Amino acid sequence: MDEITKPRRAGTALRRRGRNPDAMVTPTVQAKIGEALRDLYDGMKAEPIPDRLSALLRQLEQGDASAQAGHETPPEGRGPE
């Protein structure tokens, strides 16, 4: 427990945490990271959907995408491979 109460130096702290599988940050820092992470992630979620993907999504909505995906029962001698 002594080690963690010593004055902190970036280098040693990094090395110490590198070895410690239970590395922890404070709840405040955790919340800050979580917020930035979700901001970034929401931006990725909102990336415009390209045409090729939206076509598939429309099929999915209309319920006939499985026809395109139907690899389970390929016609005889005409399998995907």
Partner 1 sequence: MTELEIREGILCAVPSLRAFAISLTGSLDQADDLVQETILRALSNLDRFQPGTNLQAWLFTILRNQFHTAYRKRRREVEDADGLFAARLSTLPEQGGRLDLEDFRAALAQLSPEQREALILVGAEGFSYEEAAEICNTKLGTIKSRVGRARARLAERLGYEGVGDIGPDRVVQAALGRA
Residues of span 23-42 touching partner 1 by CB under 8 A: 23-30, 32-34, 36-42
CA–CA dist 13, 7 (Å, integer): 10
Quick check: 78 binds partner 1 (CB under 8 A)?
A: no
Quick check: 74 binds partner 1 (CB under 8 A)?
A: no
Quick check: 57 binds partner 1 (CB under 8 A)?
A: yes
Residue 77's alpha-carbon distances to 66, 68, 70, 71, in angstroms, are: 20, 18, 15, 13
Q: Is 26 left (phi over 0), alpha (psi -120 to 50) or beta?
A: beta
The count of residues interacting with partner 1 (CB under 8 A) is 49
Where does this chain bind partner 1 (CB under 8 A)?
4, 8, 10, 13-14, 16-18, 21-30, 32-34, 36-47, 49-50, 52-53, 56-57, 60-61, 63, 65-66, 68-72
